[in-house]
Structure 1
Amino acid sequence: MGHKMLVRVARCQLLVSCLFILILAAACCFVTAVTGQSPHFTILVGASPSESPIRDLHYAMILYGCSVCILLLLTALVSAASVQRESQTLMATAFIGFGFLFCILMAGLTWTQECKNLVEASYLDVYDDIFEQVLRRSSEDAKKQLVQTHDIFQCCGKTGGHLNIPDSHNFCKNREEHDCVSIISKALHIHLHWVRMLLLLSLGFTVYGMVLTSFLYFSLPRGNVWDRRGEYSLNNALICPPGTTQDTPLSQLLPNHSVQ
């Protein structure tokens, strides 16, 4: 009874974990969509020169987020199906999926920790380039991009003697002149903080899923199932019961038959 109870508890915990993993997959999809479609990112990515690393970083973050979403979704579905069908093959597949997730999530956590300064510097370099072009009055497109950036981030210019720009009222609609460098840095820090939180939560459920799937895989004896619950198998239907032969009439093997 103790072993059966542990198996049932593990099955329930794995199903609950699959539910939370599906929620995490939806959250990762939302954050990926924000990264790819939010004007806070697209305005600077679109204004960046072709040789800037910001474009490759942006596309890499979107591709990574989509990969994590798909793996979370598939692993949760396979795990739930393995519990419902009591299949060792599906359980082993779920364990392998959790293993892939573990590697990918660890790589993402390491990258966000080591390359966050590179991401921040890339975005700020794009803003500095636009800002300097407006100071030199070399491009009308740069002025439009700067106005859009100020409207999106609700800021105006930079500190350090660069706020005295000719015709600043044309592209600074805010009366309070907030430093755009600090606001852009703060927005990036908040976004990366939520990304790391989702990756850590996903990593925790991934490790827990690996433990549960391995336990259930070895708890399921080969050729048997956890709990039949009144179900019957026809695998041994041709095996004759003791004391009978294969030539015994079928009517004599039926229950409650009357001998005439």
Structure 2
Amino acid sequence: MGYKSWVRIARCQLLVTCLFILVLTVGCCILTVITGLGSHFTIFTEASPADNTIRYLHYTMVLYGSFVTGLLILTFLLSTISVLRESQHFMATAFIGFGFLFCALMAGLTWTQECQSQVDASILDIYDNLYEQVLRGYPEKAQERLFQAHDIFQCCGKIWEQQGTSTPHIPCNNTADDKDCVSVISQVLHVHWYWVWTLLLSSLGLTVYGMALSSFLYFSLPRGNIWERRGEYSLNGGLTGPPDATADTPLIQLLPYQSAQ
């Protein structure tokens, strides 16, 4: 297989990579919207105290998701334009975009690994705090938020591990009286983190692959025999002279206009 064939394959693979990056961009955008506006998370951030870390963590997660989504869109555009325009400058910019995206994804993976347990513990602590406030007869606002949490997660109360029974002190408006809210909330958080890790790892793999392809195409551009339309201009037939032209014929007579006369 010749070098031109390898370059064509690399160009096609980079375009396919851009297509998958676009799909991941849509996924990251949807996940960011769910994290920022989803009732599963806003119910706890609104009920948390002002000094609780969950407010800062929730804001950081939404801001990071928006930043990664923007980087994915920018990298997709630069990579696609660099292949279609066959521009060395755009290809270098696309490689730099992949590099920034790689750093952002690695930072996100490190952050989620360190803060996942902290986020889960903070959310469960907020639910426990609401539950205790309602049991002790605190203001009705806590009871209203607790009932909203029960309706959102389709659960009711907590099950004591020692006795294995649910507390009968708090009535529920839904029919899922046999579901432990702590277990349901933990399961919802587990599913959410699963999708976060899936999108981050998929984006990281495509980013590394895109960096390799863009660097290969960048160094291939200066070589004139690589891109199909570079350096292949032909003037055959443009200066066709009359059949009786000889070596001593003046050049002006070899032009198409003079030949027509």
CA distance in 1 between counterparts of 2:167 and 2:16 reads 58
Relative to structure 1, the CA distance from residue 91 to residue 196 in structure 2 (aligned partners, 3 Å threshold; closer, same or farther) is: same
Which range moved further: 222-231 or 87-96?
222-231
Cα deviation 1:12-49 (Å, max 9, x = unaligned): 11011101101110110011111111111111111111
TM-score of the superposed pair, with normalisation by structure 2: 0.86
Q: Which amino acid aligns with 1:35?
A: T
CA contact (8 A) 1:86 1:225 kept: no
CA distance in 1 between counterparts of 2:255 and 2:197 reads 65
TM-score of the superposed pair, with normalisation by structure 1: 0.86
CA contact (8 A) 2:159 2:167 kept: no
- 5+ residue gaps, structure 2: 235-249
Percent identity, please. 61
CA contact (8 A) 2:225 2:231 kept: no
CA distance in 2 between counterparts of 1:252 and 1:183 reads 90
CA distance in 2 between counterparts of 1:228 and 1:175 reads 67
- Equivalent residues in 2 for 1:112-131 (5 A)? 112-131=112-131
Relative to structure 1, the CA distance from residue 86 to residue 252 in structure 2 (aligned partners, 3 Å threshold; closer, same or farther) is: farther
CA distance in 2 between counterparts of 1:158 and 1:110 reads 33
Alignment match, 2:46: 46
Alignment match, 1:76: 76
Task: Report the Cα offset of residue 172 of structure 1.
Answer: 4.5
Where 2:258 maps in the other structure, the secondary structure is coil
- Equivalent residues in 2 for 1:1-260 (5 A)? 2-160=2-160, 163-166=166-169, 168-169=170-171, 171-174=172-175, 176-221=177-222, 226-228=227-229, 252=253, 254-255=255-256, 257-258=258-259
CA distance in 1 between counterparts of 2:98 and 2:188 reads 32
CA distance in 2 between counterparts of 1:140 and 1:253 reads 99
Where 1:258 maps in the other structure, the secondary structure is helix
CA distance in 1 between counterparts of 2:254 and 2:220 reads 35
CA contact (8 A) 2:3 2:226 kept: no
CA distance in 2 between counterparts of 1:222 and 1:42 reads 56
Task: Report the Cα offset of residue 255 of structure 1.
Answer: 3.5
CA contact (8 A) 1:82 1:88 kept: yes
Where 1:192 maps in the other structure, the secondary structure is helix
CA contact (8 A) 1:98 1:210 kept: yes
CA contact (8 A) 2:17 2:206 kept: yes
CA contact (8 A) 1:99 1:210 kept: yes
Q: Which amino acid aligns with 2:215?
A: S
Cα deviation 1:96-126 (Å, max 9, x = unaligned): 0000111111111111122110010010111
Where 1:257 maps in the other structure, the secondary structure is helix
Q: Which amino acid aligns with 1:202?
A: S
CA distance in 1 between counterparts of 2:176 and 2:127 reads 20
- 5+ residue gaps, structure 1: 234-247
Q: Which amino acid aligns with 1:218?
A: F
User: Pairwise CA RMSD of aligned residues?
Assistant: 2.4
Alignment match, 2:242: none
Figure out how many residues of one structure are paired with residues of the other and give that number. 243
Cα deviation 1:51-103 (Å, max 9, x = unaligned): 11111111111111111111011101101101111111100000000001111
Relative to structure 1, the CA distance from residue 37 to residue 46 in structure 2 (aligned partners, 3 Å threshold; closer, same or farther) is: same
